[in-house]
A and B are shown apart, each in its own frame.
Chain A
């Protein structure tokens, strides 16, 4: 089955620790995205990548880092510099077409203890 997977589903982290969230897709999509969603709020773009080995900051990139070494993978690292990391993180992918329908993973809920 084609799709996009995220792991883990739940993640707990102590303050001051870096943590990496996994995102993998087998849809052969060029573009991949990371969003953050807080209760009652919409999705806010953290980073996006339109092609392998290239990525751009979104609206809230501070305290986060990404890499895009393979087309299928776009991991997100939440660093200790992120002041309020507790949130629901969503990864998505899309073809690089004008319609740009995005396919989302199931999400990772990160809680900082």
Chain B
């Protein structure tokens, strides 16, 4: 069956450290993968997109990697801050032309001051 998995346990780290979140998928062949941030009671906000032919993408303190062999994406936040505390969702396309995204259930990140 097709699945997209993120660690359901919250990630708790100290301010200033690097947070690394994982997104694994099975039985999909996505053309791209996206990461979103969601704060409690609010809609998700787009952060980064990485295409299947890209290994790594960076935006300020954020870095995303995409390994189509391992079927995995890693999302890193360097020099983390308490304001980075939120739930982070990964999403991938189904590899068709439907413009639909499949979302993971998200990982909650808590950054302690």
Residues of A within 8 A of B (CB): 31, 33, 35, 40-45, 48, 50, 56, 58, 88, 90, 92, 94, 96, 98-107, 109
A33 to B45 CA separation, bound complex (whole angstroms): 15
Q: Does B42 contact A (CB under 8 A)?
A: yes
A107 near B32: Cβ-Cβ < 8 Å: no
A94 to B49 CA separation, bound complex (whole angstroms): 14
Residues of B within 8 A of A (CB): 4, 8, 31-32, 34, 41-46, 49, 89, 91, 93, 98-101, 103-106
A40 to B101 CA separation, bound complex (whole angstroms): 18
Given contact pairs A41-B105, A100-B101, A90 touches B43 in the complex (Cβ within 8 A) = yes
A102 near B32: Cβ-Cβ < 8 Å: no
Q: Chain A residues near B98 (CB, 8 Å)?
A: 48, 50, 56
A35 to B43 CA separation, bound complex (whole angstroms): 10
A46 to B15 CA separation, bound complex (whole angstroms): 38
In the complex, the number of residue pairs spanning A and B with C-beta atoms less than 8 Å apart equals 56
Interface of A is mostly: strand
Given contact pairs A101-B46, A107-B43, A40 touches B32 in the complex (Cβ within 8 A) = no
Q: Chain A residues near B8 (CB, 8 Å)?
A: 40
A40 to B10 CA separation, bound complex (whole angstroms): 11
- Of B32, B46, B104, the residue contacting A98 (CB under 8 A) is B32
Given contact pairs A41-B105, A42-B103, A42-B105, A98 touches B31 in the complex (Cβ within 8 A) = yes
Across the interface, name the chain B residue whose C-beta is closest to A100: B99
Given contact pairs A42-B104, A43-B103, A45-B100, A99 touches B45 in the complex (Cβ within 8 A) = no
